[in-house]
Homo-oligomer: A and B are copies of this chain.
C-alpha cells in the first residue's frame, strides 16, 4: 500500500506477494490502493463516499503507476478519475467520489442477518493458493467456501465475521478492500470452484472517519448474495456492518464466470 509521488497526478506503487490472488493481486487491495491514492492527493477534500473500480486486466507482479485527477471539485464534493497502468497498458480504471459530511436526519434501514458472536464461530479458510485470504480472520456463519465439491446450494448467500488477521485498525482503504472479501457466489450455486473474476466493483461508504476510527480492529459482519447468473456474468450485492449493527458499506460487483 506504500505509494511514492512521481508527479502532481501520478503515484507509484508495487504489488506485494502477501496480497496475491490466483492471477495478480486480490481485487480488494487494488481498490484499497486506488482509494489511498486519492486520500494521499493534496487536493482531496472530505471522506470517501463512492468508489467504482473496473478490473480491465490482471496486474503483473511488480511496480504500477496510478494517474489521477479531480475531474470536478464542488463546494462539498469532488469527482476523481483514476487509471492504474503498467508500462503503457491500462490494467484498472476507477472513479471515486469524496465529500463532506454534515448532520442530517439518519436511519439504518437494512439490518444485519442473525449470526452467532464471532468468538463462538470457528475460523474458516480459503484454499492455500489464495494467499490474500490469510490476511483476514474469517468466521463463516453461512455459505462457507466449498473447499471440496459439495451439493450445489439454492442460495448464493455467504455471511461471515471478518477482521484483519494482524489486528490492524479499520480505515477507509481497509473497508474498500473488505468490500471484495467475498468469494465468487457461483461457487456456492455450483458447489465447487468455477473460473470466475470480478470485472467491476462499486462501494458506497456510509461511515464517516469518526465512526470508522471508533471500530478499531474489531470484527465486521459481512453478507453477500447474487441476483442473477446469465450468459457468462452475475452480479453480487453485499453489506458490511459493525458488531453493533451499523451499516458501514454497501458494495456491488459484476463478475464473469465460465461454467
- A interface list, Cβ under 8 A from B: 49-50, 52, 54, 56-57, 71-72, 74, 76-77, 79, 81, 83, 89-91, 93-95, 97, 99-110, 155-156, 186, 189-190, 199-200, 202, 204, 206-208, 225-233, 235, 237, 239, 246-247, 250, 252, 254, 256-259
**One of B186, B233, B237 near A237 (C-beta < 8 A):** B237
Nearest CB of chain B from residue A143's CB, rounded to whole Å:
13
A90 to B239, CA, bound (A): 32
Closest to A156 in B: B109
Across-interface contacts of A94 in B (CB, < 8 A): 95
Is the CB–CB distance between A204 and B235 below 8 Å? yes
CA A105 – CA B259 in complex, angstroms?
6
From B54, B155, B204, B228, contact of A97 by CB (8 A): B54
Expressed in whole angstroms, the minimum distance between the Cβ of A48 and any Cβ of chain B is 11
Q: How far is the CB of A157 from chain B (nearest CB, A)?
A: 9
Contacting pair B72 A90 (CB below 8 A): yes
Q: Are A232 and B97 in contact (CB under 8 A)?
A: no
Residue among B206, B231, B252 making CB contact with A106, cutoff 8 Å: B231
**Contact A52 B49, beta carbon cutoff 8 Å:** no
Task: Give chain B residues whose Cβ lies under 8 Å from the Cβ of A202.
Answer: 52, 200, 202, 252
Number of this chain's copies in the complex: 2
Jot down 30 A-B pairs with beta carbons below 8 A, ordered by A: A49-B254, A50-B54, A50-B254, A52-B200, A54-B95, A54-B97, A71-B90, A72-B89, A72-B90, A72-B91, A76-B256, A81-B81, A81-B83, A102-B232, A104-B232, A105-B189, A105-B190, A105-B259, A106-B231, A108-B227, A109-B189, A109-B225, A109-B226, A110-B226, A202-B202, A208-B231, A227-B247, A228-B247, A237-B252, A252-B252
Residues of B within 8 A of A250 (CB): 227-228, 235, 237, 252
